[in-house]
Amino acid sequence: MKQVMKIGILLIGILLLLQNCEKEKFNNFQTIENNIEKDEISKEYVNLYDYPNIITFLNTNSVFSNVLKSNNFSSNNQTNDASNIPVLMTTTENGDTTFTLDYYNELDIQNLYFDNLVVFEPNMVRDELYSYIIRYRPNLEWLIENDFQLDLNNYIGTIQYLNIDYSINGEQEFTNNTSETDKSSQAPQVITENCYLDSYILNPDSCGCGILVIDWYCFSSIYGHGITSFPQGYDGGILGGGGGGSDVGALANSIIQSLENSLNIEFTVEQNSYLLAHPDQALQLFSFLSLNNNSLEAQQFAIAAMEALESNNYNSLDEYLNTLVIFDSPESPTAIEIDLQNDIIDCFDTTNNQNGYHTITIYVDQPVENSNDTYDINIFGDIEVGHTFIGLEQGSNGVVNQKVLGLYPNGGVSPDQPETSAIYIDDGGHDYDVSIRIEVTPTVFNAMINYISSINTSDPNYNLNNNNCSNFALSLFNLSGSNIPDTSANWEVMGNVLGGGTNPGSLGQDIRNLNPLPTGTLEHDTNGGNAINSNPCN
Amino acid sequence: MNKLLLILLIYTSFSACLNKEYSEYQIIDGKSIGKLKIGEKININNINSLIDFKINSDSIIKELYTSSPRYITLKGVRVGDNIQLIESKYGKPIKQELELKKGKYTIGKIENIMLYKKLIFYHENDTIKSIGIKDNHFF
């Protein structure tokens, strides 16, 4: 008897554990379809490629491009791309089968909605397929109250059934008062597993109001997005004279106004007309600025992009981006090489300068301002490693000379091939995050000039790990006896150590936190700015 | 008999809970890895040794990456997979090598990267070594 009880308790334990774990699992994938469609006998995710009749149908009905688009494929791709397009296939007791797919919807600046395409294959008519679009128009307050988490069990809003030409065939309203049973009986097929909503308010003002952008993701592709003013009807704050969510023109005007504010410029009549005609591009630019904190770099890019788009040479921002070569390289004509003989040795007086004043400044442009980070991946997917450079100034016998220079590799380097010859580039005007300027004696200054001259740039004298711009600038500066620490750190890209050494991130923080300041300090700037410009040698 | 049942109980618990953990090991493009979310203040309770992160001076998470094969993207890609799987799932990347920049100058490049709008894959010998997301939306 005792034995039987033990076994019974163990079995109950197993059952409880299983039940708990399952409950947790379903909480993460709450979907309407878990509770509805009582006559469903199977529901599974399949690959579209395995159903060539569906592909043929989609192609014949000219809707395949939207399916491809929603899955991040370009619309002119071959049907082979469909091999990885997920489809929710549901079969019912009477043999009907539906295939539900992500369906791309063009940006609608009037209303928020998200589409699914359903292909219906009735049991009795095997050769004939029907399709329709399910359009979700969620209630904005419901989205906000639910913190934009997709939980269609509690869906509040409208669901519309559209023909492929987008004409409305039917509509259902889901409110707070719609009972769970009613929802179960009404709610249609929908892909919800792995779906989520991503939302952000562009340029919110103090009340948190602004332009609300919501992206609807399933399987990692944005396949629907919409914008509206938030709260709906809001027309104040940064939106300027903008109108409510139901007024397309007003909302477009609001975006354009916000774009103008962000760029701090006034658009020409032509530019304004262009953006009004292409509000999606205005929003794209505005989103770009907002997502990148309206940085100077982003602003410059946005202005250039707008001019390019306006020239009608490009159809979209993405198309324009694909053609860009944004940055110069040190070999670029815009880079000014420092000639050791003319710009340093002959420029600074090292023989008759005992009565002059001499200063050296070390400037650090950190990858991330006020951070030890050794790199940052910027918006263009480039790795910013920062830069350290030097400013030299001499006032001797009534003549003032100033040069700003940094050490660069004179060719490509990489973690695999970190060494190459070096080159001095004029860094006048280069931006920086932190700097310190000290006065040095003529003797120390002369030693610094000798140090710079001693580097034979034609040798492989640039090494990403142990003779980079920061090594050079720090060694030179410390000839003053300042003893700024030399902190080494790894170049660790996504957890993979690719090298390491003295770097602008760590050095910038060391200089920022210097205490006490070195003897002879004239200026300790932790606010950043632009370095002085080099002047012609006098 | 009791021992056998105990083993069965433990096995069942583990296998059942493996399913439960699946969603906890999700990489959501540009948004989160596991419980850590981009743009949120770092929560000490959510930190684990399988996810590396970068935060800004306000302790807001700005970058997350993992080298653990436990985590899986929404399209089913994980560390250890062949990089061919990435392209088959995500199409052509925006970039396959990242330029090293010193301000406006390019000084070199880092290869072995596959960059998408909201996902970064780092690979070696055609095998994914780490998967990351960042607060940037890449172009």
Number of domains in chain B: 1
Compute the average pLDDT of residues A363-389. 88
Kindly report the number of other CB atoms within 10 A of residue A528's CB atom: 17
User: Residue A489: pLDDT band by 50, 70, 90 thresholds?
Assistant: very high
The parent domain of residue B108 ranges over 2-134
Report which listed range, A115-124, A150-159, B121-130, is most confident. B121-130
Q: Which residue of A has its CA nearest to B118?
A: A220
pLDDT for A180 equals 57
Report which listed range, A51-60, A266-275, A468-477, B67-76, is most confident. A468-477
A178: left (phi over 0), alpha (psi -120 to 50) or beta: beta
The answer, yes or no, to whether residue A347 has pLDDT greater than 70, is yes
pLDDT tens digit sequence for B32-43: 898 898 888 888
Q: What percent of chain A has pLDDT over 90?
A: 23
A368 lies within 8 A of chain B by CB: yes
Query: Contact B105/A329, CB-based, under 8 Å?
Result: yes
- Chain B hits for A383, CB-CB cut-off 8 Å, are 98-101, 110
A10 lies within 8 A of chain B by CB: yes
The answer, yes or no, to whether residue A497 has pLDDT greater than 70, is yes
Within a domain: residue B35? yes
The answer, yes or no, to whether residue A73 has pLDDT greater than 50, is no
Under DSSP, the state recorded for A538 is -
Query: Contact A72/B136, CB-based, under 8 Å?
Result: no
ipTM exceeding 0.95?
A: no
More confident residue, A122 or A348: A348
pLDDT for A396 equals 85
Closest partner CB to A10 (pick from B5, B52, B113)? B5
The first and second tokens of residue A161, run together, are 């059934």
Q: Which residue of B has its CA nearest to A197?
A: B31
Query: Contact A7/B73, CB-based, under 8 Å?
Result: no
A380 lies within 8 A of chain B by CB: yes
Query: Contact A21/B111, CB-based, under 8 Å?
Result: no
CATH number of domain containing B101: 2.60.460
A18 lies within 8 A of chain B by CB: yes
- Chain B hits for A373, CB-CB cut-off 8 Å, are 54
More confident residue, A283 or A396: A396
Query: Contact A387/B103, CB-based, under 8 Å?
Result: yes
Query: Contact A17/B9, CB-based, under 8 Å?
Result: yes
Within a domain: residue B110? yes
Shortest Cα distance, chain B CAs vs residue A229, angstroms: 22
User: Residue A455: pLDDT band by 50, 70, 90 thresholds?
Assistant: confident
Within a domain: residue B87? yes
Q: Which residues of A325-348 are buried (b: 16+ CB within 10 A; e: fewer)?
A: ebeebbeeeebebbebeebbeebb
Compute the average pLDDT of residues A180-201. 51
Query: Contact A217/B1, CB-based, under 8 Å?
Result: no
Closest partner CB to B132 (pick from A21, A469, A494)? A494
Query: Would you say the C-alpha torsion B78, B80, B81, B86 has a positive or negative sign?
Result: positive
Q: Out of A148-157, A333-342, A409-418, B123-132, which region has the weakest mean confidence (pLDDT)?
A: A148-157
pLDDT for A138 equals 75
pLDDT for A135 equals 80
User: Residue B137: pLDDT band by 50, 70, 90 thresholds?
Assistant: low
Within a domain: residue B53? yes
Compute the average pLDDT of residues A451-477. 88
> Of A101, A303, A325, A324, which Cα lies nearest the Cα of A218?
A101
More confident residue, A307 or A530: A530
CB pairs A-B closer than 8 Å: 178
User: Residue B46: pLDDT band by 50, 70, 90 thresholds?
Assistant: confident
pLDDT tens digit sequence for B62-111: 889 999 999 988 778 999 999 999 988 777 788 888 888 887 788 888 88
Distances, alpha carbon A198 to alpha carbons A105, A254, A499, in Å:
16, 22, 36
The first and second tokens of residue A230, run together, are 């938030």
Compute the average pLDDT of residues A187-196. 46
Closest partner CB to B94 (pick from A381, A384, A464)? A381
Within a domain: residue B139? no
Please state, in angstroms and rounded to a whole number, the distance separating the CA atoms of residues A144 and A149: 9
Mean pLDDT of chain A: 73
Query: Contact B102/A464, CB-based, under 8 Å?
Result: no
